[in-house]
């Protein structure tokens, strides 16, 4: 078994790496990004609008968001330092004339133009010498030179390092970038600038470039290009943070880390995930044995029909029914204690003044209805699975042999049948360990419980990549641990099985 465990533990980080890779690529290839405020149709009309207008590529706040999420870099490999001068010339001409090529009769639609403008802006920091060549070319048209200056400024602009406890080196970097950004912003060519003023600004940008090309590495050699190819990417930056257990911050609040918010909700979703899992395992085993032992008798038919009905009823029907018909203005049976319909505990003013036993009882009162809403569907499915597993074991020869030898029915069912049938149930339940961090969106929303379900749903709506990636990573990790625990449980349930 030791060799098996070592192999599985070695494969665990490799498997997680490829899970992260696949999820990361899918998320980053999905339309839009965390800072998309308005999605534009090909005709130029807004297809989704929030409370702010579209931010343009020159908007500093928009760029700051994109820098924060690493969205200004390619996903896996960075070949931008090797872009040709011809590509730069053609792209600038396209951006100025809004046409894909000189032969095109129609202008580019708004969505295509906007995507090209933002992508070229992201590439600008890697093609600074080529942009400078266009800017200084007096044979080029003024609109093209002006556009080249704009993207040159975009490429030279750097975002400050944010966060508490900055080192002196980081503070010095922030001071320099602030001065450089102010200088570059003042060198943008205005529509009313005279030719002499334009040339003066371009000369100023040339001098700034010569002074800073080494500091900002504007002209990388072959070795540097190889490094940039692998390291200046979104995935490398994300993995470098993950390896240090830094899963980032929330999109809407840089002062709140993903880990802090997950830990804050851990007790809610852990309770609403593990408790139903344990209860389901016990009850589905009991019901499975009853249905299998009374196969094709009235208990089997009755429970089968009951579980089929329960499985068919969606949770968004059951949860409101429990609130309105069972709990609202009602009390627990044989008591005068009102049934809570929201929250995980009583208000803090009440809960903080309770003893440990009172707090436990308070939590049990509040999770009574949510547990039922979560439990009924899983119990229905697992009970029918347990019935099938028990029936399969009952048909084996060793069970018939035990019966022929006069072994008591209870011993046969619990010692011979139960341990073998439990293997199927353990496999099913262990595989669902990943839902601990998935939560139950509908139940948590209706019962106003601040758990993982609503948290991750809000992250998807807000396109909060850090939270989405953490949920995928943590869910996958727990699922792999669940399967490992199931494999170990097999050897405990059935001595015939080994992991060697």
Residue 50: predicted pLDDT: 39
Which pLDDT tens digit goes with each residue over 482-497? 778 777 777 776 666 6
The structure tokens 């403008």 sit at 117
Residue-wise pLDDT for 320-377, tens only, equals: 888 888 887 788 877 888 888 888 888 888 888 888 888 889 888 888 888 888 888 8
Domains recognised in the chain with CATH numbers: 40-68+77-232 (no CATH), 258-493 (1.10.3720.10)
pLDDT of residue 130: 94
In this predicted structure, what is the pLDDT of residue 393?
84
Which regions in the chain score pLDDT beneath 70?
1, 32-62, 65, 68-69, 163-164, 430-439, 493-500
pLDDT in the model for residue 498: 67
CA–CA gap between residue 300 and residue 294 (Å, rounded): 6
Please give the pLDDT value at position 377.
Answer: 83
pTM for the structure as a whole: 0.75
């Amino acid at each position: 078994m030791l060799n098996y465990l070592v192999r599985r533990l070695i494969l665990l980080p490799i498997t997680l790496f490829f899970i992260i890779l696949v999820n990361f690529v899918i998320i980053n290839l999905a339309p839009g990004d965390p800072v998309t405020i308005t999605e534009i149709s090909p005709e130029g009309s807004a297809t989704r609008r929030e409370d702010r207008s579209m931010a343009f590529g020159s908007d500093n706040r928009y760029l700051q968001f994109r820098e924060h999420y690493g969205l200004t870099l390619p996903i896996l490999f960075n070949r931008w330092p090797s872009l040709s001068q011809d590509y730069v010339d053609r792209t600038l001409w396209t951006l100025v004339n809004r046409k894909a090529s000189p032969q095109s009769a129609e202008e580019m639609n708004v969505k295509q133009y906007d995507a090209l403008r933002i992508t070229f802006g992201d590439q600008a920091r890697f093609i600074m010498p080529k942009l400078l060549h266009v800017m200084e070319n007096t044979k080029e048209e003024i609109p093209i030179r002006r556009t080249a200056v704009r993207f040159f400024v975009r490429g030279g602009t750097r975002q400050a390092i944010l966060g508490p406890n900055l080192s002196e080196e980081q503070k010095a970097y922030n001071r320099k970038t602030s001065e450089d950004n102010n200088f570059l912003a003042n060198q943008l060519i205005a529509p009313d600038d005279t030719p002499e003023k334009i040339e003066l600004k371009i000369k100023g940008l040339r001098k700034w470039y010569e002074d800073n090309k080494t500091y900002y590495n504007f002209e990388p050699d072959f070795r540097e290009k190889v490094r940039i190819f692998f390291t200046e990417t979104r995935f490398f930056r994300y993995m470098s943070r993950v390896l240090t257990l830094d899963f980032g911050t929330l999109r809407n609040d840089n002062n709140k880390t993903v880990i802090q918010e997950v830990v804050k909700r851990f007790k809610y979703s852990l309770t609403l995930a593990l408790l139903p899992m344990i209860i389901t395992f016990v009850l589905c085993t009991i019901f499975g044995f009853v249905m299998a032992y009374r196969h094709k008798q009235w208990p089997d038919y009755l429970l089968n029909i009951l579980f089929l009905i329960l499985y068919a009823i969606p949770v968004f029907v059951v949860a409101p029914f429990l609130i309105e018909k069972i709990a609202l203005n009602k009390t627990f049976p044989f008591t005068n204690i009102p049934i809570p319909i929201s929250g995980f505990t009583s208000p803090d003013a009440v809960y903080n003044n309770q003893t440990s036993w009172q707090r436990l009882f308070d939590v049990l009162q509040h999770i009574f209805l949510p547990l039922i809403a979560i439990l009924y569907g899983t119990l229905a499915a697992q009970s029918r699975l347990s019935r099938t597993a028990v029936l399969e074991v009952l048909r084996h020869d060793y069970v018939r042999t035990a019966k022929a030898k006069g072994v008591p029915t209870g011993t046969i069912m619990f010692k011979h049948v139960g341990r073998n049938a439990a293997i199927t149930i353990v496999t099913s339940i262990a595989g669902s360990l990943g839902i601990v961090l998935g939560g139950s969106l509908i139940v948590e929303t209706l019962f106003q419980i601040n758990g993982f379900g609503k948290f991750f749903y809000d992250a998807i709506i807000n396109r909060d990549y850090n939270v989405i990636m953490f949920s995928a990573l943590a869910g996958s990790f727990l699922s792999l641990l669940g399967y490992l625990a199931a494999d170990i449980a097999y050897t405990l349930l059935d001595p015939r099985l080994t992991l060697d």
